[in-house]
A and B are shown apart, each in its own frame.
Chain A
Amino acid sequence: MSAAMEVQPYVDPRDRGGAAQPMLIARELQRYFRVKGAGKGAVVRAVDGVSFTLFKGETLGVVGESGCGKSTLARLLLHLVVPDSGELVFDGDAVGETGGVNIGDLRRQVQMVFQDSYSSLNPRMPVQDSIAFGPMVNGRSKTEARRIAHEILVKVGLRPDLFGPRYPHELSGGQKQRVNIARALAVGPRMVILDEAVSALDKSVEAQVLNLLRQLKRTLNLTYLFISHDLNVVRYISDRVLVMYLGQVVELGPAAEVFARARHPYTRALLGSRLSMDAGRRIEAPPLVGDPPSPIDPPSGCRFRTRCPHAESVCEARMPTLGHWEDRSSHVAACHMTTPDSGHSLAGSA
């Protein structure tokens, strides 16, 4: 076990751009889905102009309400869903374009861990075969793929001889999620997208898996995109946080800063809605009321204005922009209150 855990020297032959080159740059990613039966030409704006950078070795947490486009974003990054428009740059190479990195190479370097541990493993396949499948389709022999699967099982804390031959229904939720992580790691990715990877687990198991993820990130030099609706979990694991609302980025910044000094009213509402064990911090009224508006027909201007306590006419007239999101240290919010000359009465105060 200790042999498998040893720290590799940080020189990945696939690292083309060097440490300063972001692992992934997404620019103005957009994906609309056609809706049947909601009128002609009706579309859901699942992801609508999302831009962010993901630096090597960091964990970027993505938070937002259900249906805000988090999962679609994850699938766009892997080209499991093809973006309508926008640009993806992986380690300095444009994704899916001539002269860039092709989808196959991208998928060998970026893997995904899914939320639902019930449907994310083939029920008719022993878990070691599920894990070995990735290496096998990438050209490894069956025995070699099996050997890799066993090595990875050790890395995620499961005894290969005991758990390898089991079927998914013979595993607990936490064990299944470890297998899911192992399956993603089996092809040797550099970046892992964790789509609500711990959301279905109970708290104690969740903590174990989170620590496992941290440890794996260290030993395998991984970069994480961590999608979750659980703010506490995101705060624990993320270096930076991206907040989404109705398919758009509303705030992006270093985790400590976002949690301490949120700039967007939506982020503040989200942070205010966390449950607290502290009696003094109990909240009387919910910080956010109602459901998010329909992504089929989103509000004009700022999409949050229908639920925002500070909404003014300028919010209806113009859509706020995110500003300079490219840097690692920048803390930006798409809100008129953050831009001094936006015309909002509270401009510059937030």
Chain B
Amino acid sequence: MNERAVVAQGAIPADSEVDGAPAIRVRGYWQSVLHRLRYDWVTLAFGVVVLAIVIVAIAAPLIAPFDPYQQSIVGRLKPFGWRGHPWGTDELGRDMMSRLIYGGRISLVMGLAPVLIATVVGGTLGVIGGFAGCLANTAIMRTMDVFYAFPSILLAVAISGAMGGGMINGIISLSLVFTPAMCRVAETATAQVKNLDYIEAARASGAGTLTIIRYHVLGNVLGPVFIYASSLVSVSILLASGLSFLGLGVQPPEPDWGLMLSTLRQSLYVDPLGCALPGIAIFITSICFNLVSDGVRGAMDVRG
């Protein structure tokens, strides 16, 4: 009988793979991501710039050559190198370099805080919605869709306008802007994972929903969520600067890049170079965050 061929081949001992297994180096997922990043020098270079910006912002009091709030009537809008001010002074005679350095602090907080809040809130809602399905999913996702109806910048302006200016309100409004998108990313990733056999196998071995989410869902959702969050940082910095520029974010005399851009705008014809500096700072910071996020995305994208 031909079907007995199966039996004949089965003569191979069942544990034949025990000794003949090739020895490969075992590397964890995040280890392998780091390994791939090590050879991506573009990402590494921009990562160094991001790191430098962060360090400069943290160590601002040590690095800044002047007090960023110290005004001077005579020293207004002076050029580079004037009386020891390496990048000149602004319209109130304050040292540009010190203000840019201190401004980095605010920009980083405004870049990271809303994204962090949105990741936690939106991520949680998304995982709940994705895993629960049906009614809970509809309730959460349709609510999020309401926020999608507004363009993000308009929504941020509207919320900030309604709540008034200030850094905290700015963070709240930007968090609200990012939460729906974050929620959607988490929900999609969760829904994809939810129907795979290993979730069913986990359920079959007697695990409760929370245990399954903790061990089998979060690890698989974290990747896409992290990638999306890292790409939002630069958007958040830009939006925060935009809010400040419109007078809805950080209030004077705080040294915020967006706010500086707004006030220096009036002196565009007197001191064009000084005017451009905050814009250049915003540009460099956001593009560095973007490129690093891109590189990390690439390193994480490999099947595994």
Contacts and interface: CB of A to CB of B under 8 A. Distances in A.
Contact of A175 (B17, B201, B204, B207): B17
A244 B49 CA distance: 65
Contacts, number: 132
Nearest to A130: B198
Nearest to B220: A124
A174 B16 CA distance: 12
Given A208-B16, A215-B14, A119 B198 contact: yes
A233 B204 contact: no
A23 B6 CA distance: 28
A204 B11 CA distance: 10
A167 B198 contact: no
A277 B219 CA distance: 48
A125 interface: yes
B56 to A, nearest CB: 36
A232 B6 contact: yes
B204 A107 contact: yes
B6 A210 contact: yes
A208 B10 contact: yes
Contact of B18 (A75, A157, A211): A157
A54 B206 CA distance: 22
Given A122-B219, A274-B3, A207 B12 contact: yes
A206 interface: yes
A78 B17 contact: no
Given A111-B205, A114-B201, A134-B205, A169 B2 contact: no
B201 A159 contact: no
Q: How large is the interface on A (under 10, 10 to 19, 20 to 34, 35 or more residues)?
A: 35 or more
Interface residues of B, number: 39
B9 interface: yes
Interface in A108-157: 108, 111-112, 114-116, 119-126, 130, 133-134, 137-138, 157
Nearest to B29: A124
A276 B2 contact: yes
A165 B6 contact: no
Contact of A211 (B3, B10, B28, B203): B10
A235 interface: yes
Interface stretch (B19-27, B78-86, B91-99, B142-150): B19-27
Question: Counting chain A CB atoms within 10 Å of each CB, which of B2, B12, B17 scores highest?
Answer: B17
Interface in A149-203: 157-159, 162-163, 165-167, 169-170, 174-175, 178, 180, 183-184, 186-187, 203
A277 B205 contact: no
A107 B205 contact: yes
A212 interface: yes
A125 B219 contact: yes
B283 interface: no
Contact of B14 (A134, A162, A211, A232): A211
B203 A170 contact: no
A80 interface: yes
A12 interface: no
B204 A124 contact: no
A67 B208 CA distance: 30
Contact of A158 (B18, B24, B220, B223): B18
B211 A137 contact: yes
Contacts of A159: 18, 21
A210 B200 contact: no
A187 B198 contact: no
A212 B220 CA distance: 31
A236 interface: yes
Given A1-B15, A124-B220, A133-B207, 13 more contacts: A111-B205, A120-B197, A120-B201, A122-B219, A133-B205, A163-B21, A166-B26, A207-B7, A207-B10, A211-B10, A233-B6, A236-B3, A274-B3
| 7 tightest A-B CB contacts, nearest first | A157-B15, A134-B205, A207-B10, A232-B3, A120-B197, A212-B14, A124-B219
28 contacts: A104-B206, A114-B200, A115-B197, A119-B197, A120-B196, A121-B198, A124-B29, A133-B202, A134-B205, A137-B206, A137-B211, A138-B206, A157-B16, A157-B17, A163-B21, A166-B26, A167-B28, A170-B24, A175-B17, A183-B205, A204-B9, A206-B6, A207-B7, A208-B14, A209-B14, A232-B3, A236-B3, A277-B5
